[in-house]
Amino acid sequence: MEFSPDGRQLAVGTYAGSVFLFDVQDRKLIRTIPVYEAGGYGVFSLAFSPDGHRLAAGYGGPLNSRPGQISPGEPLQVLDVSTGAVLAKSRASSSKIRSVSWSNDGKILAAGDDDNHVAFRTADSLSQAADDLVLAGPVLSISFAPNKPIFAAVSGKAVVVDEIVGR
């Protein structure tokens, strides 16, 4: 789940593959955004862009995961908050995206996955890699500083703090 930068909306990912977008003040559902096909393709990670206009969603796997089970081909998606439309989709090294985060200027989207990768993508075209980082274990969380081009990524065995500009 994730609050919008202005605190007016709350996005909640579901095991069924949708995002519920709520108005916080009125405590009402604004819309349901289907992100992945029904069948237990859960939304595991969410992040609003700094301007609040886009929402990144990362696939977390089926509710009752079985070896060899089919997952979505593009587990990272960016949605338009006002319409719910999918603006961009991207493949990843893993089908399970544990964490997503936007750079402070909204130009870079980072996605941390189960295969020890942090993929940095340009927000306008998720297919273009801005950079890639490999950690010692599955990426549990990634976050950008709110006012600097610095990020932190955590795996079960390492914490990395670095500057995106210098990578």
Distance, in Å, from the CA atom of 138 to the CA atom of 161, rounded to the nearest integer, reads 16
pLDDT at 148 over 50: yes
The CATH fold of domain 10-163: Methylamine Dehydrogenase; Chain H (2.130.10)
Which of 133-155 are b and which e, b meaning 16 or more Cβ less than 10 Å from the residue's Cβ? Answer: bebeebbeebbbeeeebbbebbb
Q: pLDDT tens for residues 59-84?
A: 876 655 554 444 556 788 999 999 99
Residue bearing the bigger pLDDT, 135 or 47: 47
CA proximity to 106, closest of 159, 62, 144, 57 = 144
pLDDT band at 124 (very low <50, low <70, confident <90, very high): confident
Assess whether pLDDT exceeds 90 at residue 51: yes
What does the domain layout of the chain look like in residue ranges?
10-163
Mean per-residue pLDDT for 126-130? Answer: 68
3-state secondary structure of 104: coil
> In DSSP terms, which residues pair with 134 in a beta bridge?
117
Q: What is the pTM of this model?
A: 0.87
